[in-house]
Amino acid sequence: MRRDAELNRERLVTAAREVFAERGLDVALDAVAKRAGVSIGTLYNRFPTRGELVRAAFADNVDTVARLGEHALGLADPWDGFVYFVEQVSQLQAADRGYNELAGSSSAEDLSRGYDLMSRIVARAREAGGLRADFTLEDMAFVTWSITRTIEATAGTSTTVWRRHLALILDGLRASAAHPLPEPALSREQLADIYRDC
Amino acid sequence: MRRDAELNRERLVTAAREVFAERGLDVALDAVAKRAGVSIGTLYNRFPTRGELVRAAFADNVDTVARLGEHALGLADPWDGFVYFVEQVSQLQAADRGYNELAGSSSAEDLSRGYDLMSRIVARAREAGGLRADFTLEDMAFVTWSITRTIEATAGTSTTVWRRHLALILDGLRASAAHPLPEPALSREQLADIYRDC
DNA sequence: AGCAAAGTTGACGGCCTCCTCAACTTATGT
DNA sequence: ACATAAGTTGAGGAGGCCGTCAACTTTGCT
């Protein structure tokens, strides 16, 4: 890759991160090209689909989440680790509209790394008796969808109320709060279907 | 209003209900006109904005919710009434994509009638000690957003898993599950702001 | 029956975004 | 210095939806 091409690529990724953060994942790509100081043709040349640009823009966040997960697993109390992880990821979402949208529709499980990590965090918290026994990995999608949506709705008015909502949710996930659930959890395949569609 | 005009109006409202239910509130209005067997010009003549058509299409649901609320208040146990109301409204949302989207962005409080009703259901459940003491009317928005989003995500795969999610949420709303919340509730004004924007 | 008011029609201009491609510019190795 | 591959450019065609309006049709009153 030529030096100028590499530079333009970086400019595009940076611009994409900024524009996605401010205006969401659905912005017109012209806005990204303009902010990068590059023509729309170059953008399409480098990133033929929007998805590729999105992936490039949020590659860092994937690493960050992995680090958060490792740290969560390092905490002495498994329930605290679970809470820590969910809170930190939510914080990331609250700070970046684009990432919030992404988290709500790809949930980090297309990444085997993130999937595995979350799986361990959930299992550990459940087995230690902090997290309710009937909570499955797939149920994490509910948590993500909930938080994603309230962050989206409240971002313009308060950057912190989502913490209240999260606290309400967490209170329902403690083993001590558990009442029998009326429906079986989603299977791994069902969840995969859901994410495939979007 | 002329007889034919009245008939066309009804056709449009019926068509809108059907199309919104299947494809959401953002469909191209041509689709509604086509299903109604009427020209796009007539649609615009009768309903100058999309909002007016939406309101007309979901007027029935507003009545239904009011009835559900009354019934909830008639139940002997206030907590059961609360649960009943939330479940029934969610059921309505699960059956109609358009109404689900509407509920997620207008939350029935633009309607003073629905607002008042919900207010009483919440207050009653809280005062009876079933619903946690720190739960406010404004917190209902969290519940609505959560359920709306998971219904939206899962509708194509399962028409019932949302009940599992709702059960998890409800477990967090019981007085017995309450742990101190980290943030104050949204004020009535803040919530109004949020709904104004959308 | 005849007529004015009410209602309907759908082609069309406007707007936006997507994505392509032929012409042009730049980097790099020799 | 120059040739050539690599990269860039941006105007423009395609597609979708919106909302309008002048010409036409229907209703209902007298």
Same domain, B81 and B141: yes
Q: Identify whether A85 is part of a domain.
A: yes
pLDDT digit string, tens, across residues A78-108: 999 999 999 999 999 999 999 999 998 876 5
Encoded amino acid at B21, one letter: A
* B161 contact residues in A (CB cutoff 8 A): 183, 185-186
Q: Do A154 and B186 touch (CB under 8 A)?
A: yes
Encoded amino acid at A36, one letter: A
Chain B residue with Cα closest to A171: B172
Residue A104: partners with Cβ closer than 8 Å, 6 or more residues away: A144, A145, A148, A149, A152, B149
d(C-alpha B83, C-alpha B121), whole Å: 10
Same domain, A1 and A96: no
d(C-alpha A173, C-alpha B174), whole Å: 12
Same domain, A91 and A140: yes
CATH number, domain with residue B4: 1.10.10.60
Nearest residue (CA) to C1' of C10: B39
Nearest CB to B142 within list A150, A183, A186: A150
Same domain, B114 and B153: yes
Same domain, B110 and B74: yes
The pair of three-digit structure tokens given for residue B80, joined into one six-digit string: 């059961």
Q: Output the pLDDT for position B197.
A: 75
Same domain, A19 and A95: no
d(C-alpha A76, C-alpha B121), whole Å: 41
pLDDT digit string, tens, across residues B69-109: 999 999 999 999 999 999 999 999 999 999 999 998 876 55
The pair of three-digit structure tokens given for residue B155, joined into one six-digit string: 């509708």
Q: Identify whether B13 is part of a domain.
A: yes
Q: Output the pLDDT for position B109.
A: 53
| HSE toward the beta carbon, residue B177, CA cutoff 13 A | 24
Q: Output the pLDDT for position B160.
A: 98
User: Would you say B56 and B76 are in contact if contact means Cβ atoms under 8 Å apart?
Assistant: no
Q: Output the pLDDT for position A114.
A: 77
First and final C-alpha spacing in chain A? 32
A112: containing domain? 58-197
Sole residue written with tokens 């002329």: B2
Distances (CA, A) of B154 to A86, B72, B164: 21, 27, 12
Considering its fold, how many domains does chain B have in total? 2
CATH number, domain with residue B73: 1.10.357.10
Q: Identify whether B104 is part of a domain.
A: yes
Distance from CA of B142 to the nearest CA of A (A): 6
Percent of chain A with pLDDT over 70: 96
**Partners of A174 in the beta sheet?**
A131
d(C-alpha B35, C-alpha B32), whole Å: 5
Same domain, B42 and B114: no
d(C-alpha A159, C-alpha A157), whole Å: 7
User: Would you say B88 and B79 are in contact if contact means Cβ atoms under 8 Å apart?
Assistant: no
User: Would you say B81 and B32 are in contact if contact means Cβ atoms under 8 Å apart?
Assistant: no
Q: Identify whether B53 is part of a domain.
A: no
Q: Identify whether B98 is part of a domain.
A: yes
d(C-alpha B71, C-alpha B49), whole Å: 34
Same domain, B162 and B190: yes
Single out the residue in A11, A27, A48 at which a domain terminates: A48
User: Would you say B106 and B148 are in contact if contact means Cβ atoms under 8 Å apart?
Assistant: no
**Partners of A131 in the beta sheet?**
A174
| Full-model pTM | 0.94
Instruction: Spell out, as residue ranges, where chain A has pLDDT lower than 50.
Output: none
Same domain, B164 and B81: yes
